[in-house]
Amino acid sequence: MLVGGKGTRLRPLTVNTPKPMLEVAGVPFLSHMLTRAKAAGITRIVFATAYKPEVFEEYYGDGSRFGLEMEYVQEVEPLDTGGAIRNVADRLQSAPGDPVMIFNSDILSGMDLAALLAEHETRGADVTLHLTKVADPRAFGLVPTDRDGWVTAFREKPQRPEDIVTDQINAGCYVFRREIIDGIPTGRRVSVERETFPGLLAAGSKVLGVVEQSYWLDLGTPGAFVRGSADLVLGAITSPAVPESTCPRYPEALVLDGAEVAESVKLGAGSTVGQGARVAADAAVYGSVLGAGSSVGEGAVLRDSIVGRGARIGAGTVLEGVVVGDGASVGAGNELLQGVRVSCDAVIPDSSVRFSHDPS
Ligand code: GDD
Ligand code: MG
């Protein structure tokens, strides 16, 4: 499990918490992935850590709470994706020809992991990649295949229009034959996407692509993060790790332990109200994630926004597509729109201007 990325695009949320440990639908995002891995028959997980390594072990420990065996390997300097995979090789128990599954840790997906593994084995591949199709592939690894599914090229984050040769992208879940992992160079940064995959193709290795278009989302940006969280709450993608809501009067929201939501509040579109968070009268919260211990003032309106732990949103304030860092305070009567990010512990004073808005 590759968990060492810095989560740059999710700052300031990732200043205090590594991306895979951000709460999504009530639990650290990783718990959804681990539950799925276990359901597919995986029994042992090795974490490749670099950024905030201690957080993972503190939460998951030896994995017994999850019915999994867990180990942690910390990189001294981040080794990038391929280097991270190589760096855990001595902790793998698989024989040289055995399959090892590798996961990017920010993917919410309904793909059939057991079927991917079976395909890898039957086709006798060295490496098998889960591929999906997206409308705009530029933020991903482009992976064209021939008619039998063998990968013909791997282009990470193509910039030039002539490189956009397919809508098939690397979905961030692989099966490697163990000995391929042992062949990655040690002790330096290696990108599996920019170096290992193109290298394997140049050397004539059998790299298979399995296109599977079940639910798939990379939660690496604020927009995708709120969408994935809302989809889990609304059941567009199911995960056994989603806890029960404590407030049945809002069927389209997840209210966690100790949260207080006033009677007159409108709450829906897959919102989550974190543990001990408070939402005051007449507020409206749609498609948003409210962190543990955060508060939303009277009549505030939030859409598609993320509010960090312990952050405070003042009365009548409007947030749309905004990320508020842990412990920040946005005063009353402000209006913050698309793409605005408020740093952890920042203080925005009450606004003296009255914005008119339609709270419906
Ligand atoms: N241990 C470790 N060390 N892990 C790392 C490091 C590192 O130095 N750098 C990145 N990772 C982990 C991240 O934590 C994440 O789980 C995974 O590697 C991929 O990093 P992202 O930052 O999420 O990459 P991306 O989303 O831009 O692109 C990747 O995922 C796309 C699918 O979502 C690539 O694999 C693309 O080819 C792919 O299409
Ligand atoms: Mg990603």
- Closest to 152 in 3D by CA, of 218, 205, 229: 205
Beta-carbon count within 10 A of 67 CB: 10
9 CA closest ligand 1 atom index: 22
Query: Relative to the alpha carbon of 74, which ligand is closest?
Result: 1
What residues form DSSP beta bridges with 268?
286
**CB-ligand 1 contact for 304 (6 Å cutoff):** no
222, 257, 277: which is the final residue of a domain?
222
Contact at 8 Å (CB) between 276 and 294?
Answer: no
Query: Relative to the alpha carbon of 1, which ligand is closest?
Result: 1
Do 255 and 185 lie in one domain? The reply is no
Query: Relative to the alpha carbon of 171, which ligand is closest?
Result: 1
* For ion ligand 2, residues whose CB falls within 5 Å: 106, 218, 220
Domain extent for 151: 8-222
Do 252 and 163 lie in one domain? The reply is no
218 CA closest ligand 1 atom index: 33
Q: Which among 106, 138, 167 is the best mutation to test ligand 1's pocket, defined by most ligand atoms within 8 Å of the CB? A: 106
Do 141 and 67 lie in one domain? The reply is yes
Can you give the pTM of this predicted structure? 0.93
170 CA closest ligand 1 atom index: 39
47 inside domain: yes
**CB-ligand 1 contact for 2 (6 Å cutoff):** yes
6 CA distance to ligand 2 centroid (A)?
10
- For the chain (360 residues), the mean pLDDT of every run of 10, in chain order, is 95 95 96 94 96 96 96 96 97 95 96 96 98 94 97 94 92 98 96 98 98 94 97 96 94 97 97 98 98 98 98 98 98 96 97 66
Do 47 and 87 lie in one domain? The reply is yes
Per-residue pLDDT, 335: 96
Per-residue pLDDT, 191: 98
- State the Cα angle at 143 between 11 and 193, rounded to 5°: 50
- Closest to 49 in 3D by CA, of 37, 41, 58: 58
- Closest to 73 in 3D by CA, of 59, 87, 52: 87
Whole-number Å distance between alpha carbons of 143 and 28: 30
234 inside domain: no
Whole-number Å distance between alpha carbons of 307 and 222: 11
**CB-ligand 1 contact for 142 (6 Å cutoff):** no
**CB-ligand 1 contact for 84 (6 Å cutoff):** yes
Concatenated DSSP letters of 242-308:
PPPPS-TT-TTEEE-TT-EE-TT-EEETTEEE-TT-EE-TT-EEES-EEPTT-EE-TT-EEES-EE-
Structure tokens at 232: 């889990």
Alpha carbon 117 to chain centroid, angstroms: 22
Query: Relative to the alpha carbon of 18, which ligand is closest?
Result: 1
**CB-ligand 1 contact for 81 (6 Å cutoff):** yes
**CB-ligand 1 contact for 23 (6 Å cutoff):** no
- Closest to 49 in 3D by CA, of 26, 19, 92: 19
Do 192 and 259 lie in one domain? The reply is no
Query: Relative to the alpha carbon of 5, which ligand is closest?
Result: 1
CATH no. for residue 43?
Answer: 3.90.550.10
Do 20 and 69 lie in one domain? The reply is yes
104 CA closest ligand 1 atom index: 16
Whole-number Å distance between alpha carbons of 121 and 52: 35
Contact at 8 Å (CB) between 332 and 348?
Answer: no
Contact at 8 Å (CB) between 3 and 18?
Answer: yes
Structure tokens at 237: 């993608």
Q: Which among 1, 2, 221 is the best mutation to test ligand 1's pocket, defined by most ligand atoms within 8 Å of the CB? A: 2
159 CA distance to ligand 1 centroid (A)?
18
272 CA distance to ligand 1 centroid (A)?
26
Whole-number Å distance between alpha carbons of 179 and 170: 21
Per-residue pLDDT, 352: 82
Alpha carbon 50 to chain centroid, angstroms: 16
Structure tokens at 99: 């399959």
Do 50 and 186 lie in one domain? The reply is yes
Do 164 and 270 lie in one domain? The reply is no
Structure tokens at 141: 């690894």
Tally of domains in the chain = 2
Per-residue pLDDT, 356: 62
- Positions of E strands within 75-139: 99-103, 107-109, 127-133
Alpha carbon 275 to chain centroid, angstroms: 20
Helix (H) or strand (E) holding 224: helix 222-234
Virtual torsion, Cα 48, 51, 55, 57, nearest 10 deg:
20
211 CA distance to ligand 2 centroid (A)?
18
Do 20 and 105 lie in one domain? The reply is yes
177 inside domain: yes
CATH no. for residue 273?
Answer: 2.160.10.10
Per-residue pLDDT, 9: 94
